[in-house]
Structure 1
Amino acid sequence: MNIFILLSIIMLMPLCLAQDISVEKLLAYNQWSSQHQRVYLNENEKLFRQMVFFENLSKIQEHNSDPNNTYSIHLNQFSDMTKEEFAEKILMKQDLVDHLMKGISQEATHNDVNKEIQLNSKSLTLAASIDWRTKGAVTSVKYQGICGSCWSFSAAGLMESFNFIQNKALVNFSEQQLVDCVNPANGYSSQGCNGGWPAQCLDYASKVGITTLEKYYYIGVQQNCNVTGTNNGFKPKQWIYIRNTSNDLQSALNFSPVSVLVDASNWHNYRSGIFNGCDQSHIKLNHAVLAVGYDQQGNWIIKNSWSAHWGENGYMRLAPNNTCGILSSNLQVTA
Structure 2
Amino acid sequence: MKLYGLILLCVLSLSAKQTFALDPNTEIAPGVSYGVSNMFHTWMSEFGKIYPSVEEEFKRTRIWKQNHDLIETHNTKDPSPSYTLGHNQFSDMTLDEFHQMFGLGIYKKEVASSESKLRGKNSPDADGTLAAKEARRRALQEDDDCDGDTDDNTDDNTADDDATDIPKMVNWVDKGAVTNVKNQGMCGSCWAFSAIGAIESARFLATGDLTNLSEQELLDCDSTDAGCQGGLMDNAFLFDERDGGLCSDEEYPYVMHKHWIFGCSRYKAKCTDVPNSEVGSFEDIRNTTKALMKAIVKQPIAIAIEADTTSFQFYKSGVYVDECGEDIDHGVLAAGYGTEDGVDYWLVKNSWGESWGNEGYIKIGRDSENDLGSCGILSAASRPIMKVS
TM-score normalized by the length of structure 1:
0.86
Q: CA deviation at 1:72?
A: 0.7
Residue matched to 2:285: 242
Q: Residue deviations 1:232-255, cap 9 Å, x none?
A: 331111111111110110011111
5 Å-filtered alignment, 1:34-183, equals 34-68=45-79, 69-91=81-103, 93-94=107-108, 97-98=111-112, 102-105=116-119, 106=131, 107-108=133-134, 110=136, 112-113=139-140, 115=142, 116=144, 117-122=155-160, 123=162, 125-183=165-223
Query: Does structure 2 retain, via aligned residues, the 8 Å contact 1:207–1:230?
Result: no
User: Taking every aligned residue pair, what percent have the same amino acid on both sides?
Assistant: 29
Structure number with greater Rg is: 2
- Taking the aligned partners of 1:250 and 1:301, their CA distance within structure 2 comes to 11
| 2:239 is equivalent to residue 196 of structure 1 | no
1:108–1:126 Cα change, 3 Å: farther
Q: CA deviation at 1:101?
A: 5.4
Secondary structure of 2:71's aligned partner: helix
Query: Does structure 1 retain, via aligned residues, the 8 Å contact 2:181–2:350?
Result: yes
| 2:329 is equivalent to residue 286 of structure 1 | yes
Gaps spanning 5+ residues in structure 1: where?
1-15
The Cα RMSD (Å) is 2.6
Q: Which amino acid aligns with 2:323?
A: C
TM-score normalized by the length of structure 2:
0.74
Q: CA deviation at 1:114?
A: 5.5
Residue matched to 1:227: 268
Q: Residue deviations 1:19-51, cap 9 Å, x none?
A: 964433211100111221212233332222111
Query: Does structure 2 retain, via aligned residues, the 8 Å contact 1:259–1:330?
Result: yes
Residue matched to 1:274: 319
Secondary structure of 1:299's aligned partner: strand
Q: Which amino acid aligns with 1:310?
A: W
Query: Does structure 2 retain, via aligned residues, the 8 Å contact 1:164–1:170?
Result: yes
Q: CA deviation at 1:194?
A: 2.1
- Taking the aligned partners of 1:164 and 1:48, their CA distance within structure 2 comes to 47
Query: Does structure 1 retain, via aligned residues, the 8 Å contact 2:304–2:380?
Result: yes
Secondary structure of 2:336's aligned partner: strand
Residue matched to 1:315: 361
- Taking the aligned partners of 1:271 and 1:32, their CA distance within structure 2 comes to 16
1:276–1:119 Cα change, 3 Å: closer
Q: Residue deviations 1:157-186, cap 9 Å, x none?
A: 000000001111111101111112223xxx
State which drifts further: 54-63 or 108-117: 108-117
Query: Does structure 2 retain, via aligned residues, the 8 Å contact 1:121–1:252?
Result: no
Q: State the number of aligned residues.
A: 313
List 4+ stretches of structure 1 deviating above 6 A: none
Residue matched to 2:301: 258
- Taking the aligned partners of 1:84 and 1:20, their CA distance within structure 2 comes to 21
Q: Which amino acid aligns with 1:38?
A: K
Q: Residue deviations 1:109-130, cap 9 Å, x none?
A: 6363554234455356101111
Query: Does structure 2 retain, via aligned residues, the 8 Å contact 1:76–1:310?
Result: yes
1:287–1:99 Cα change, 3 Å: closer
Gaps spanning 5+ residues in structure 2: where?
1-26, 120-130, 145-154, 368-372
